[in-house]
Structure formats: C-alpha cells, structure tokens
Amino acid sequence: MKTIHRTSLRAVLAAGATAGLLAVGAGAASAHVNVTPEDNAAGGSSVLTFGFAHGCEGSPTSKIAISLPDQLVDATPTVHPGWDVEKVSETLDTPKTLDSGATVTERVSQIVYTAKEPVADGLRDTLQLQVLLPESAGETLAFPVLQTCEKGETNWADLPAEGQDPHELESPAPSFVIGEASAESHGGHDGGASDGAQAAESSGTGASGTDAATVAGWAGLGAGVLGLAAGVTALARTRKKG
C-alpha cells in the first residue's frame, strides 16, 4: 500500500511541477508588447492593435511610443480614453514614391501615447493605429515600441536574424507578415489613409506570433492545473482505501 501512496504522490508532484513551468512560460509570453492586425492583406487598410500587460520590472507604464517601419509614411491613431496621443514626423533624406505614384518628402515616424494615469503592472491595455499596408505580400513589418515606466523603460526593438526564432529574443519588436492581396483590399480605403497622409502594418499572417504563444501558454497552464487537481483527488481516494 505504501508503494501506491508513493506512486500517487510522485504523480501529484510531477503535475504540480508541470503547472509551475507552464505558468512561467505563460507569464514570459504575456510580458511582451504584441501587435495584431485586423487584416493583413497587401494594399489594404488595417487597424493594428498593440497590447501590453506588464510594466518595467513591476513599475507602472506611463508612455508607449510606437515607431513605424520605413515602409509606412503615416498612421491614424485611435483616440483612447486615459491617454494623450501625438504624431511625430520626420523629413526624409530622399523623397519616397508611394504605391499610388505620389511622392512624399516627410513621414510620420512615431505615434506616442502618454498615459494620463500610469497603468499598473499586471493590468492589460491596448492601443490602436490605422494604416495602409504596402503592396508587398510576404514582407515582415516590425514596429519597435519604447515602453516608458515610472521607473525605467523597456525598448521592444530586437529583430531576429535570418532563420532565428523571434521567441528567442529578449525584447522582440512587435511584428507580422503582410498577406496576399484580396479583392476587398483594393476596393477603396476608409478614413485615415489618404494619399496626402497615407497611412501606408508576433509573427505569422493575420495575428501576432507572441499572442499565439500567450494563448498556448495559458491553455497549457489550465491543463496542468486540472492534472494537478486530478492527482490530488486520486491520492486522497487511495489513502481512504488504505
């Protein structure tokens, strides 16, 4: 009978260890700043959602500065209660010709959201931009994000080397891959993506790879917790029988 008890106890401890490791993995994944496009079709207008749930080593977040990739010349930020927002522009060294044929000499390089009240560590928030995606299916768009906190900052700007898994990076820049053009993507663009100010955006088509990792992490954590509960129940029944 003692052998049965030892075996059951080992099973319970193994389940507990698994749940603990999954919790660590889920926490690490959710710590990143992620980007999820509403639509990733080449040449189409899309609303990009940037999400974060942690500050800088526990310090509340006070500012999120989103840098636009060189392929884009503009973005229309969504008004967000609790945040002030501004567009930062830069003059181009060389004029840029857009897919529409228009030529621009300056671009919006960064969208800066400043919190009216810092977001506490462990609370999730999202910020959105509307952009017009380039007509270059298969290309990756990366959006480095500087997260400023009451104490310290985190620069989510690491880009993977060729063939490297983005999840191996300590502070990966939010990114996604432009998909194939759709019939709708060339049927007209809604407000916020004009030719004069063309809103011209963790890996994978249609969704951030880091978001997917976060979902998988939490799903695995749930399975680990259920396994632990089942082990405890089995151990209690075994002891009663003994």
Task: Write the pLDDT tens digit of every residue in 135-144.
Answer: 999 999 999 9
For 152-206, the pLDDT digits (tens) are: 999 999 999 988 888 889 999 999 999 999 877 654 444 444 433 443 333 333 3
Q: What is the mean pLDDT of residues 19-24?
A: 36
174 burial via Cβ count (<10 Å: 0-12, 13-18, 19+): buried
The rounded distance, in Å, linking the Cα atoms of 37 and 236 is 48
Is residue 73 over pLDDT 60? Answer: yes
User: Who has greater pLDDT, 210 or 141?
Assistant: 141
Query: Which band of pLDDT confidence, cut at 50, 70 and 90, is reported for residue 237?
Result: low
Q: Checking DSSP bridges between strand 45-52 and strand 125-132, what pairing results, if any? A: antiparallel
For residue 164, the model assigns a pLDDT of 87
What is the per-residue pLDDT for 44?
Answer: 96
Find the helix or strand (DSSP H, E) in which 114 lies. strand 103-119
Kindly tell me if the per-residue pLDDT of 92 is higher than 80: yes
pLDDT tens per residue across span 45-57 = 999 999 999 999 9
Pair of tokens at residue 81: 């209660």
Rounded to 5 degrees, what are φ and ψ at 2?
A: -60, -35
The pLDDT of 201-213, averaged and rounded, is 40
Amino acid at 144: P
Of the listed ranges 27-36, 94-103, 121-130, 206-215, the one predicted with least confidence: 206-215
Q: 0.85 exceeded by the pTM?
A: no
